[in-house]
A and B are shown apart, each in its own frame.
Chain A
Amino acid sequence: MIFVDYKTNNGELKITLKGRLDAVFVSKVWHETINKLASTKPSLLEIDASGVDYCNGAGAALLLQLKQKQENENRQFSIVGLRKDFEQLINIFDPGVVSENTKKSNSFSRFVKDAGRMCYRVLSDTKTEISFIGELISKLIVAFLKPSSLKLSDTFLIAEKSGANAVGITCLLGFLIGMILSFQSAIAMQQFGAQIYVADLIVISLFRELGPLITAIIFAARSGSAYAAEIGTMKVNEEIDALVTMGIDPIKYLAVPRMLAGIFMMPLLTMFNLLLGLIGCGFVMLSLGFSPVVYLNRIQEAATLGDLAGGLAKTLVFGLVIAGIGCFRGLQTATGASAVGDSATKAVVSSIIAIVVLDGVFAVVYYYVGI
């Protein structure tokens, strides 16, 4: 049963509460009582709680809130008839006055502070990124010069997880993309009676651009994020700290094997992707009525070894960069579960940006070199 009653008398407000003072009660009367208090501004607020037969934290909150509002205005407050055990509850729970500035600061000064922090963060991030890339490359060179210092079993395990296990999805995507692209271009080429050149179009675009790009995006989404999440979780669990105190360099132990796996697996995966892309294209060509021999001849005539090699060379760099970014984001992880998710997201986003930018750089370089 819920009962509230308000009586005003000579600038004094008397609120009578009856029933169970719990969350249900309080949620109904909270605004009402506080608005009433704000509108009447009584010199004395008296609460008659003799009819209250139960009071929990929510009830105590209501009484304390009213008390605080009154006392903030230097006005009188009293509770009568509250049972002893409930009165004790209120004494324990009194949270005191919360100073407003711990809560919120001025919105303009907050904006300036946030902007400053943001700039600082971007600059210091760039700095750590540059030094991290330097560190990675120097350690990678050391690993190449002294392969005995490397944990080969780890490297192979990582290569299996992010390379061999990714063959399926890479092949599937290659096949579908090859098929879809050749089908779409066949429709356009048909108008010129140039359907035989679909093979040229597909093989060049797959070898030079699409194959490496699609494989790189798969690798970033599948393995780059996994590296970031795994290393990030290790960071959260203080496992990275454990490595450091054992005198084991986390970059050498964690990042180098992953980057090696990336460098070696990306070209292999790309080759699978290209092969299946060509098979997919072959299906469409067959259905258009060309014989397999004609298709194969067309491919051989259209693409040079240089096209293939140029595409695969790119993937070496993509693999290195994706794995490096994954490890970097993982090692950057802050604390908490959400930080691991953030790292994985950041790893994928920065990898994809890096892939596209690098691809553009390669296009320009290849143009001038004449590949």
Chain B
Amino acid sequence: MRENSNTIIRVENLTAGYGDVAIIKDVNFEVKAGEIFVILGGSGCGKSTLMKHMIGLLPPVSGKVLIDGKDIVTAKGQDKIEILKGIGVMYQNGALFGSMNLIENICLVLEEYTDLPKDAMEFIARMRLKVVSLDGSEYKMPSEISGGMKKRAAIARAMALDPKILFLDEPSAGLDPITSSQLDDLIIELSRSLGITFVIVTHELPSIYKVADRVVMLDKNTKSIIATGKPDDLRDNSDNPWVRQFFNRES
């Protein structure tokens, strides 16, 4: 983590839900620039819902999500596009476009938002793939690569426009421990070397201990944050028994 204490994302009084059912109530937290921030909690507590609100996919019932000082909830048109250009998102199963090879998947946003010549875009796409160690698979189709490779390719695609913030939805779910750990290394390296802020939704404990600078923990019953802090601290010192259970993997 770089020594930088600027707040890059601020979530204020966010209440979110589907229809009449509230999933999260009145949540407040901040993410600092350059840190690896993990959102965690038990199954069905609204982690992914919270993330979808943070990237502006779903409109909240009330509250604000400020990304670099700008509210993504109310932003429209060009303003919203400017905010979205500053973030990259990796979806749970990669969400790579099945009809395009990896290079084309990455070039898509570059074609949309820059005037770079074709060979420059391809070069940038190859650079991104190299960073996630996918060099050699540039011209493969998403259906020809494994699940772990798809996730890495999705990270490469999310980085196409040099975003300051990367959102990762369950990056290590469904991966073997070695691949999962390589992915963790990649996240740490990208954070250190490029200063990218990471917001990660996960409940894989080993990966949380390894990468997280700070976590927030959501609770299904109170529909709010029950713990914030460093994972090691929470494991050893939390006054909430459920939190200690979670971090110690007890039932």
Is chain B a partner of chain A in the same complex?
A: yes
Asked whether any CB of chain B lies closer than 8 Å to the CB of A102, the reply is: yes
Interface string of B110-125 (1 = CB under 8 A from A): 1001111101100110
Minimal Cβ-Cβ distance residue in B for A336: B98
Q: Is the CB of A26 within 8 A of B139?
A: no
Asked if A98 contacts B120 (CB within 8 A), the reply is no
B192 and chain A: residue at smallest CB distance: A88
**Any A CB within 8 A of the CB of B222:** no
- Whether B115 contacts A96 by the Cβ 8 Å rule is no
CB distance from A332 to the nearest CB of B (A): 15
Closest to A88 in B: B193
Query: Does A60 lie within 8 Å of B127, measured CB to CB?
Result: yes
Please tell me which one of the listed residues B143, B193, B195 contacts residue A335 in the complex, with CB atoms under 8 A apart.
B143
Given contacts A57-B124, A61-B120, contact A103 B162 (CB under 8 A): no
A57 close to B114 (CB less than 8 A): no
Neighbour of B117 across the interface among A30, A57, A85, A338, CB < 8 A = A30
Is the CB–CB distance between B114 and A23 below 8 Å? Answer: yes
CB <8 Å contact, A334 and B143: yes
Q: Determine the residue in chain A with the shortest Cβ distance to B142.
A: A336
Is B27 part of the contact surface with A, judged by Cβ < 8 Å? no
**Residue among B98, B128, B159, B189 with the most chain A CB within 10 A?**
B98
Q: Which residues of chain A come closer than 8 Å to B131, judged between CB atoms? A: 92-93
| CB atoms of A336 and B143 under 8 A apart | yes
Q: How big is the B interface, by class?
A: 20 to 34
* Known A-B contacts A89-B194, A93-B127, A339-B98; A58 and B120 likewise in contact (beta carbons under 8 Å): yes
- Say yes or no for B77: interface residue by CB 8 A criterion: no
Chain A nearest Cβ from B122, distance in angstroms: 9
User: When the two chains form their complex, are residues A61 and B99 in contact, meaning their CB atoms are under 8 A apart?
Assistant: no
CB B61 to nearest CB in A, in angstroms, measures 31
Instruction: Select B193's contact among A92, A96, A334, beta carbons within 8 Å.
Output: A92
Chain B residue numbers with a CB within 8 Å of A339 are: 98
Q: Is the CB of B117 within 8 A of A27?
A: yes
- Judge whether A94 is part of the interface by a CB distance below 8 angstroms: yes
Contact (Cβ within 8 A) A64 B98: no
Given the contacts A57-B162, A61-B120, A334-B143, A95 and B114 also touching, CB distance less than 8 Å: no
Residues of A within 8 A of B19 (CB): none
Question: Closest chain A residue to B129 by CB distance?
Answer: A95
Say how far A35's CB is from chain B's closest CB, in angstroms.
11
In this assembly, does B135 line the interface, its C-beta being within 8 Å of a C-beta of chain A?
Answer: yes
A85–B126 alpha-carbon span in the complex (Å): 21
Binary A-proximity of B129-148 (CB < 8 A = 1, otherwise 0)? 11100011011011100000
Are A61 and B143 neighbours in the complex by a CB distance under 8 Å? no
Q: Identify which of A26, A85, A89, A94 contacts B120 (C-beta below 8 A).
A: A26
Q: How far is the CA of A103 from the CA of B103 in the complex (A)?
A: 11
Residues 7-45 (chain A) with a chain B CB within 8 angstroms:
22-24, 26-28, 30-31
Interface centre among B116, B126, B127, B128 (most CB of A within 10 A): B127
A58, B143: Cβ atoms closer than 8 Å: no
**Which of B123, B129, B130, B142 has most A Cβ within 10 Å?**
B123
Q: Is A62 an interface residue (CB 8 A)?
A: yes
| A107–chain B nearest beta-carbon distance, Å | 16
Residues of chain B contacted by A337 (CB below 8 angstroms): 98-99
A195 at the interface (CB under 8 A from B): no
CB distance from B85 to the nearest CB of A (A): 10
- The answer to whether B194 and A61 touch across the interface, beta carbons within 8 angstroms, is no
Instruction: Check A102/B116 contact, CB under 8 A, given A57-B128, A64-B127, A93-B131.
Output: no
Q: Would A338 and B99 be within 8 Å (CB), given that A89-B194, A96-B130, A102-B136 are in contact?
A: yes
Identity of the chain B residue whose Cβ is nearest the Cβ of A103 in the assembled complex: B139
- A99 CB to closest chain B CB, in angstroms? 10
Q: Do A94 and B130 have beta carbons less than 8 Å apart?
A: yes
Q: Contact between A61 and B123 (Cβ–Cβ < 8 Å)?
A: yes
Q: In the complex, what's the smallest C-beta–C-beta distance from B56 to chain A, in angstroms?
A: 22
User: A65 contacts the other chain (Cβ, under 8 Å)?
Assistant: yes
> Within 8 Å CB of B142, what residues of A?
336
Name A42-77 residues within 8 Å CB distance of B: 56-58, 60-62, 64-65
Contact of A62 among B98, B120, B130, B160 (CB under 8 A): B120
Alpha-carbon distance A92/B194, docked complex (angstroms): 9
Q: How far is the CA of A168 from the CA of B225 in the complex (A)?
A: 54
Residues of B within 8 A of A57 (CB): 124, 127-128, 159-160, 162
> Could you list 14 examples of A-B contacts with CB < 8 Å?
A26-B120, A30-B117, A31-B117, A57-B159, A58-B124, A61-B127, A65-B123, A92-B189, A92-B193, A95-B123, A96-B135, A102-B136, A336-B99, A338-B99
Task: Give 6 closest A-B pairs by Cβ, nearest first.
Answer: A336-B98, A56-B162, A95-B130, A27-B115, A23-B114, A335-B143
Sample of 12 more A-B contacts, CB < 8 Å, known A23-B114, A27-B120, A58-B162: A28-B115, A57-B159, A61-B123, A65-B123, A92-B193, A102-B139, A103-B139, A336-B141, A337-B99, A338-B98, A338-B99, A339-B98
Residue positions of B touching A, CB distance < 8 A: 98-99, 110, 113-117, 119-120, 123-124, 126-131, 135-136, 138-139, 141-143, 159-162, 189, 193-195
